[in-house]
A and B are shown apart, each in its own frame.
Chain A
Amino acid sequence: MLTQMRFEGPTYNIRSRRTPSKLPARHLFALRINANHSSALLRSYIEDFRAQHYQYESHREIFMAAPSSATDTGLISLRDLIDFISHVSDCYPDICKDFPQQLIDMLMQHHLVLETELREKLVGSLVLLKKKDIIDSERLLHTLFPILVSTPSKTLRALLFQKILSELRTANSKTTNHKLNRTMQTVLFNLVTSDRTSAKGLWAIKITRELWKRQIWTEAKAVEVMKEAALSENEKVVVGGVRFFLGGDKEREELEDESSDDEVNVGQVKHQLTINKKTRKKARAAEKAIKSARNKEKKKGQPNVMLNFSALHLLHDPQGFSENMFFKHLQNGKSKLNLEQKLLVLQLVSRLVGLHQLHIMPLYSYFQKFLTPRQPSVTSFLASLAQATHDLVPPDVLEPLVQKIANEFVSEASAGQVATAGLNAIREICVRQPLAMDETLLQDLVMYKKSKDKGVMMASKGLLSLYRDVGAQMLKKRDRGKEAAMSLRAGERSERRFGEQAVGQIEGLELLARYKDEERRKKNIEKGLPSDAEDDEDNEEDNWDAWNVEDDSDDDVDGEWINVEDDADINLSDSDDEGKSRPSKKTKQEGEEQKDGEKSKAEEEIDFLKLATTRILTPADLAKLAELRAEAAAEATLPGNKGRVAAPWTSRHTDDPLTANEIEGLAALSAAKATREERIAHAKEGQTDRSEHKSKEARKKERKEQEGKSTTNKEKARKHKPFLMSLGKAKSKNKRSLKDVSRALKAHHDRGKRGGKRGNLGTTVGPSR
């Protein structure tokens, strides 16, 4: 009876919730019957349900008298009763109005002593009640969360954590549930701030991090929770909070990439559907695939759906936060953190300092005592120091540090790796604050470019090329290079002053300007005007049409295509900043060199500044800009362009962290450290794929093998027949008489005429098999 009833209630319920339009006629009929009889049906079972409810009530009473004792009394256990009632409780709301509260009480008061299965059943039933909208998610979370924090049982914690997360995810699935998020964030915030010494804050961190990763929480409040966690007294909590700031955003991006990777090929799915056996499951899968593809199409049209700021940017009062962190965890003698944890904190603080251009003066003197080659994981310290440098740090604070690094690390006597690390660190500091270097030291360090150690040599050259760019007058004359020396002589370069700000610009705008210029010229040529005639802005309508990114052109193509010119003739030159002046290769090919040659740099600079100041960049423009930038970046990685890529500091985004590996530089790749595979991979980095030069047949074969498809019989025969098997025949063929040979040839010829062994005649009728 119990089982019967179990099915009766829910089936009705499921049917009634479906919309009729999706159901086939048969189901529709059933639905109508149910709609008519639903209330009668429920009423006819009400006595039975009431009896079960009383049964539950008395079992609950028995249980509450002794919660820890076994619940398996008689035929039915309390667990089954709870299961049953929670499944049908939405059909009898008046009888079950106290039911959720009773479950909550049971769980909250006795979760420590409850039998595990019953405990899990209680949690599951509560979640089920939430799904049926009998309790709201706030109530559910307010029940589950305190238990999560307080229970000593690992399995229960895992279960609760998973349930809480999925609850928050479903609550935010359609639209962001701001109210719920806010209350939950407040609860987490209070958890972290209420008792700073306890490890309970870890749960707040876990939840926040998970939701941040899934982009469900992207607000400043969530960051605030993590900020408080980072300022906690408990080491674990501190490390959890710090790790979030250091890696949370990357994690988020990775997840996003992953989710966008696993797209299904709609065509393939459709094709498979026509061939394979048609089951409902497969139909559903196909429908899902098509739906997701459609959604993706839709998303493509919408501009910047996911514009999420990184946690570091959402921080409120970064100066106060990083000061607190520094004085509490690093400068404080009583801090319990070990070196590894301190390094993490230091990384975060220095990252914040660099990113927000903060001023924490004691930070730099703090570094002083760690800058020796014997210090464990000194490269991390060096990286942190470089990160903490920005162009508003007074040079006199940095100068002693640079001096110390040079003294301690860079000498003829020190090992190559050590010197490399030192030089790289100095370079990274000077990229951010060129004024930290003094002239004699620089000239001294540049001399290491003649070193026999490759790492040292490269590092020194890096420093040299940096100063050619930012402070050529500090270098010796012969080190300056052609470009820098000429511009120095022309007086174009002035010495950078402390605190001087460069004119702001949009990255890659010159590319756009050049592209536009070119387009205009093409159009003019089409019209028959002189190529450099001014575009008098008459085609306003065209401009309005081009306001948005046109989507129809490459709808069927997955992803963006970047035009990489693989046969670009390489334009080598020593100068670093010629990206601006170098005209795109295409223009040359089209034979329009008459202009570009003469165009001076100054003129062009004005051109793109004009573009930025006089025009509003449309979404179409911005899209084009992004494309051009990607193109330029792809071009730069081609093997011939190595010389130009040598300045990694120009390509670094301010949000990206500086790692210890970068400080170690080439030493990390040196023979002692890298495995063979790594070295091979490194050597292959710039090379193009050789497999492109294979024959068509070979490529086809490879592809087939990769897809796990079979080969033709011919191919099999070629592959597998051992030569010994055919040896006898080959020998006997040689010994044939002339007559036999001619007969065989004739037979072959005839066979060819007939159309093979079977012949063409038989095909229309075909032998019955």
Chain B
Amino acid sequence: MGNSSKRKKEKAKDFQKPKLKVGKTKAKPDNYTDTTFKSKSIVLTQQSLHLAAPTSNATFTHNLSLLAAKSDTQRRDSLAYLTTTISSRPVNSPLPQPVSVILPSLLPLILDASANVRTQLLKLLKTLPEGDVEDHVGQLLPYVRAGMTHLAADIRSSAVDILSWMVEAAGESTVSCAGGWIKTLNCFLSVLGWHTDESARWSSSRASFGKAGSQGKPMVKTLGALSEFLEAGIGKPAVKDVEMSDDETSWPYPLCQTEHHMISESSTPFAYLNLSGQPRDEEGEMYETREDRFRVFSSRFHPAMERGLKSAREEGGELGRASSSVTKVLKEAIAYGAGP
């Protein structure tokens, strides 16, 4: 029958042996899967195993890289390691890595979601030498400001903590770096909710945005930080100036100006020229002298500040007490006026 012979043929086809030919490569089987691939680079995820223990420097670098890890416990642990390494190093010995290397990986952690990481971060920051921090305030401040206006109240409060540490460690450069004065004050007003007439009233829900923090009394803390910040910015200048004026009288003419002809102490003496950066607007400008800062403050922030302080005072309690410290700083600054 035609049909069955056809079937037979088909069946026979299934079990045919492939012909092998001399000099030719063997034919690939039907179910052969092509596993070759092309890639520009191949990353081998392999542990580097050594017999010798890694040097402390290497572990430091390794932990620094672990700061970007996914799990927050890992980040916290790395931070803790870095903190102990820095704090336990011999006195006056340099850091295992310069601050300029450490800082970029620390900065995003200011906005970290985990509270433990942030507290650990603050501890680490406090161990850094103050002189080094001074040069990197400009890098720190945008992150701190982003933290201060963050939706999560916890992050806001820890950002305020970091800011108060910064003011403590490098007050002058904090208030005088680019954008350090106006933008930060704006953030303060926004955290406190003192921007507009209406929102400063006690009846309105102040600091309403975001979830309420788990750590209590954020307002009190913020007010404390504000008073420190204002003190650093427009507080009465230190007595050093008076001594300087004494020197001026004591030295004759050319020698009294020696200081101006020396190499500047700060690392970026010409930062105010902004030679290679983005053009700055009024808010992002550097306000290096107390007069400038006071002028800006009295024209922009004074009324809002007064209004806010008044309502805080009226509220009384701990908040009222905290506000009084700010009021005191403010009074002194106004009493001192625009400058000598």
Contacts and interface: CB of A to CB of B under 8 A. Distances in A.
Interface of A: 1-2, 43, 46-48, 50-52, 54-55, 57-59, 61-62, 64-65, 73-76, 98
B179 A1 contact: no
A73 B143 CA distance: 10
Contacts of B210: 1
Nearest to B189: A50
Contacts of B190: 47, 50-51, 54
Interface stretch (B33-41, B147-155, B236-244): B147-155
A1 B195 CA distance: 20
A74 B113 CA distance: 6
Given A74-B112, A74-B155, A62 B209 contact: no
A43 B146 CA distance: 23
Interface string B185-208: 011001101011011000000001
11 contacts: A1-B151, A1-B211, A50-B190, A54-B187, A57-B183, A58-B142, A58-B187, A61-B179, A74-B108, A76-B150, A98-B281
A54 B149 CA distance: 6
Interface in B3-19: none
A515 to B, nearest CB: 72
Chain A, interface SS category: helix
Contact of A75 (B143, B148, B152): B152
Question: Which label, helix, strand, loop or mixed, suits the secondary structure of the B interface?
Answer: loop
Interface of B: 107-108, 111-113, 139, 142-143, 145-146, 148-152, 155, 179, 183, 186-187, 190-191, 193, 195-196, 198-199, 208-211, 278, 281, 284
A50 B179 contact: no
Contacts of A43: 196, 198
B199 A76 contact: no
Nearest to A78: B146
Contact of A55 (B150, B195, B284): B150
B57 to A, nearest CB: 25
Contacts of A55: 146, 149-151
B193 A58 contact: no
Contacts of A52: 149
A61 B108 CA distance: 13
A47 B108 contact: no
Contacts of B111: 73-75
Contacts of A54: 145, 148-149, 183, 186-187, 190
Contact of A74 (B150, B183, B191): B150
B275 to A, nearest CB: 16
B226 to A, nearest CB: 16
A48 B195 CA distance: 11
A74 B139 CA distance: 17
Contact of B209 (A1, A64, A76): A1
A169 B111 CA distance: 43
Nearest to A74: B111
A57 B183 CA distance: 9
A48 B108 CA distance: 23
A76 B108 CA distance: 12
By CB atoms of chain B within 10 A, which of A50, A64, A98 has the most? A50
B199 A47 contact: yes
B198 A65 contact: no
Contacts of A65: 139, 142
A46 B193 CA distance: 10
Nearest to A63: B142
Contact of A58 (B139, B149, B196, B199): B149
A51 B209 contact: yes
Query: Top 9 nearest A-B pairs by Cβ distance?
Result: A74-B111, A58-B146, A54-B149, A58-B145, A61-B142, A55-B149, A48-B209, A51-B149, A62-B142
A65 B193 CA distance: 28
A62 B179 CA distance: 12
A98 B282 CA distance: 12
Given A43-B198, A51-B190, A51-B209, A75 B142 contact: no
B196 to A, nearest CB: 7
Contacts of B150: 55, 74-76
A178 to B, nearest CB: 35
Contacts of B143: 58, 62
A402 B122 CA distance: 95
B151 A75 contact: yes
